[in-house]
Copies of this chain bind each other. A is one copy, B any other.
C-alpha cells in the first residue's frame, strides 16, 4: 500500500534534486530515503528518476510530483481544518438570547470571545425565553440564554445570574415620592403595563395586579416609550433597564423574591460543537462577572 508519507519523501527529493539534502529536510538518513524511494517505485510500477543521481525525473516522476504535491497540500489543509475546528478556531456558533442579555451583556462577551477566534461565524437571535428554548431544542441554535423554566424536556438549564425586577414609571409619578422600596400594594391604584418578562414573577400579589392590567407590550423600546408618555408603569428586570432611560424613573421593589434566574439553555442529548463548548465555558466564566459589574454589585 502506497503511503502519503512516501509521496512526501519523494516530493522532497524531487525538489532537492538529491537524496542527502532531502534526507536532512525530512529528518532521516539518506539510506532511509533511498529505501522509501525504491519501495515507492516498486509499488507504482516504474522508475521515478532518470538515473540514480536524483536530479532529473522521468515522465512518471513528473506526473507523480504534480499529483503528489497536490495530495500533500490537500491533505495537510484538511488536517489543519480538522484541528482548527476541534480547537474551536473555526466553525459556526448560533446563539439565541433574550433581548436584555443580547443587548447589554453579549456584545462585550462576544467581542472578547471572537478576539482569539477571528474565523468563527456567529449568528445571534434575540427572542423571548420560550422561543430561545424552542430554537435550542430544534437545533437551530447551538446555545441559548434565557430565563429559567420549570419544564426539563430535551433542554438543560445552567444558571448564570439572578436579576431583580424593578419598577419603571414616569418621572412625575406619585410613586417617585415614596422614600422606600415599592410594595405590591402601592400599585393598586396604578395602571400596570404587562410585558413578557414580568409575567414570570411568581408573587400572588403581583399576579393579581397583572390580571387587572389591560395592556401588554413585548418590545422594550415601545414599553419604555409608553411609560415615558405617562400611560402607566411597568415591572422589568434591572438588566433590561441598564443604562437608564431618560425621562423615566427606576424604583426598587420591596419584594426580594421578585427576580428572574437567567442561564444557558442547551440540548441535553447532543454534545456541543467545539465552538459551542468553548463559548459555553467562556460564557459561564465571564457573564456572571460582567453582570455583577453592570448591576453594580
Q: Could you list which residues of chain A lie within 8 angstroms of chain B, going by C-beta atoms?
A: 1-5, 44-47, 50, 58-60, 63-64, 67-68, 70-71, 74-75, 78-79, 81-83, 85-87, 91, 270-274
Bound together, the chains give a CA A107 to CA B82 distance in angstroms of: 54
Q: Name the CB-closest residue of B to A275.
A: B59
Residues of chain B within 8 A (CB-CB) of A3 are 3-5
Residues of chain B within 8 A (CB-CB) of A67 are 78, 81-82
A267 to chain B, nearest CB (A): 12
Q: Name the CB-closest residue of B to A2.
A: B79
Bound together, the chains give a CA A93 to CA B50 distance in angstroms of: 19
Q: Name the CB-closest residue of B to A40.
A: B82
Partner among B45, B47, B59, B75 whose Cβ is within 8 Å of the Cβ of A87: B45
Known: A4-B75, A59-B91, A60-B85. 11 other contacts (CB 8 A): A1-B5, A2-B79, A44-B83, A47-B271, A50-B270, A50-B271, A58-B271, A63-B82, A70-B78, A71-B74, A71-B75
Partner among B44, B74, B86, B270 whose Cβ is within 8 Å of the Cβ of A86: B44
A81, B63: Cβ atoms closer than 8 Å: yes
A44, B75: Cβ atoms closer than 8 Å: no
B86, A46: Cβ atoms closer than 8 Å: yes
Bound together, the chains give a CA A91 to CA B83 distance in angstroms of: 38
What 9 A-B pairs have minimum CB-CB distances, sorted nearest first?
A46-B86, A59-B273, A45-B86, A67-B78, A4-B4, A44-B86, A44-B82, A60-B86, A2-B79
Q: Name the CB-closest residue of B to A75.
A: B71
Partner among B5, B47, B74, B274 whose Cβ is within 8 Å of the Cβ of A59: B274
A85, B58: Cβ atoms closer than 8 Å: no
Bound together, the chains give a CA A44 to CA B74 distance in angstroms of: 16
Q: Name the CB-closest residue of B to A91.
A: B59
Residues of chain B within 8 A (CB-CB) of A79 are 2, 44
B63, A85: Cβ atoms closer than 8 Å: yes
A180 to chain B, nearest CB (A): 53
18 contacts between A and B (CB under 8 A): A1-B5, A3-B5, A4-B75, A45-B87, A46-B85, A46-B87, A46-B274, A50-B271, A59-B274, A60-B85, A60-B86, A60-B273, A63-B81, A64-B82, A67-B78, A67-B82, A71-B74, A75-B75
Q: Which of A74, A78, A81 has the most CB of B within 10 A?
A: A78
Residues of chain B within 8 A (CB-CB) of A81 are 63, 67
A276 to chain B, nearest CB (A): 8
